[in-house]
Amino acid sequence: MAIQDYIDRLVGLQGFYVIKLRFREDLSTLWIEVSRREKQYRCTCGRTYRSCYDSRLRSVRDLSFGPFGRVWIEFSQCRIRCATCGVRTEYLDWVEPRVGYTKRLAGAVALACREIRSIKAIAQQFRLHWSVVKQIDKKALQDDLPAVGDTEATLLAIDEFAVKRGQDYGTTVADGGTGQVLYVGKGRNAEALDPFFEALGPGKCSRIQAIAMDAWRGYAKAKRKHCPDAATVYDPFHLLQIYAHKVIDRVRIDECRKASKDNKAIIRGTKYLLLKNRKNLLTDRDEPARLRDLLAINQRLNTAYILKEDLKRVWIYKRKAWAARWLNAWCQRALDSGIKPLIRFTRKLLHHKESILAHCDYPIHTSIVEGINNKIKVIKRIAFGFRDFDYFALKISGAFLSIHTSA
């Protein structure tokens, strides 16, 4: 009797006891046959009955045990005729109906999936098919993550990420205060954001004070449609990125074409040297000296580069009046430069002046989402099954849920 009690406790299935154990000679697989202690059957609604409508034999995978890599639980599950619900499969607290594994195995797999590991590696660990691991993880994430729109955030940050560069994109929405991922949508147009704002509802949308984003038209359209009173905040990252490609690189190409043979040799191959921040220049590669020589031989490149560095100062100011004064002076210098790519950039920038200065009122920026996007690259690299975009979106949200829950 003592041995029986020990085995029952070791197996630990509430309401059932072990009646037979079978295993392969190589100890790779163990079958545990169990039977119920009492003839009592519970409906999902909570009602209990003493008789069942019918029953069927089930065999489900359980956690590995001792030397056995695969453990199967064999038992009889009943259906009952409930006065409230009709004919239903009985409720058992250790296994779900219509799945091939116990709840505790599912819990262990879901926990392993929170680590930065591939589905393939976790499937090998638990000796399950990868599709079963994905099914378990996807359901666990759906159960654990808050519903879209279940937030009181008043500051948002929106940015895009590449699913397949140049082909498929997604959009991430984060809480501008905490950095928590609130939503991941497919595409980078207004329609990609519609489900998020519709889930928020008019009341919560009206309480959004500011949204940090780039100048992508689709995002601006969604903001005007759902949160017309919220301020738009442009941060330096995207603006300086546009400046680097539309001004710096364009001027470099134009000047290289007109340069003498000796100067062409200096200008060629300097694209990324000009785009780098000064603090990131590598002394062991003589980058500071190369940059100094480059700017010394070409006045237009020197002007474009200096104005790039000076534009960053707009985001240093905390008082809007000072930031506006610096931005106005910068725009005048740019317009007076005579450099066509720089003039075109400045004229477009003037249309977004209020959004640039809005950082003084709302110190939020999309660098929050840029950090999220870096983690998305890691998730893609270890192949979490991102062909299923819904699952991919859940993995992104789940990765940041664990961070903020533990913080």
CA-to-CA distance for 379 and 398, rounded, in angstroms? 11
Q: What is the pLDDT of residue 403?
A: 45
pTM for this one? 0.80
Residues 238 and 158: their CA atoms lie apart, in Å, by 12
Helical packing angle, 367-381 and 389-406, nearest 10°: 120
Distance between CA atoms of residues 183 and 166, nearest Å: 22
155-235+364-406 placed in CATH 1.20.1090.10: no
pLDDT (0 to 100) of residue 405: 43
d(CA 200, CA 149): 4
Every domain of the chain and the residues it spans: 2-143, 155-235+364-406, 236-360
Q: Is 326 helix (H, G, I), strand (E, B) or coil?
A: helix
Beta-bridge partners for 70: 29
Instruction: Give me 116's structure tokens.
Output: 């930065």
Strand bridging mode 155-164 / 210-212: parallel
Beta strand 29-36 pairing with 16-23: antiparallel
Mean pLDDT by 10 residues, the chain (407 residues): 68 89 90 92 93 94 91 95 94 93 96 88 94 94 91 92 78 90 91 95 96 88 95 89 92 89 85 83 83 89 93 93 96 96 96 94 82 81 71 86 47
Cβ-proximal residues to 171 (8 Å cutoff; 6+ apart), any chain: 158, 159, 160, 161, 184, 185, 186, 187, 188, 192, 193, 219
The pLDDT value recorded for residue 268 is 85
∠ CA 255-261-266, nearest 5°, is 65
Position 330 scores a pLDDT of 97
| Cα radius of gyration (the chain) | 31
Q: What pLDDT, on a 0 to 100 scale, did the predictor assign at position 166?
A: 60
Tens of pLDDT, residue by residue over 209-236, are: 999 998 888 899 999 999 999 999 998 8
Dihedral sign of CA atoms 114, 116, 118, 122 in order? negative
The residues facing 201 across adjacent strands are none
Q: Which residues contact 362 (CB under 8 A, 6 or more apart)?
A: 155, 176, 209, 210, 212, 231, 233
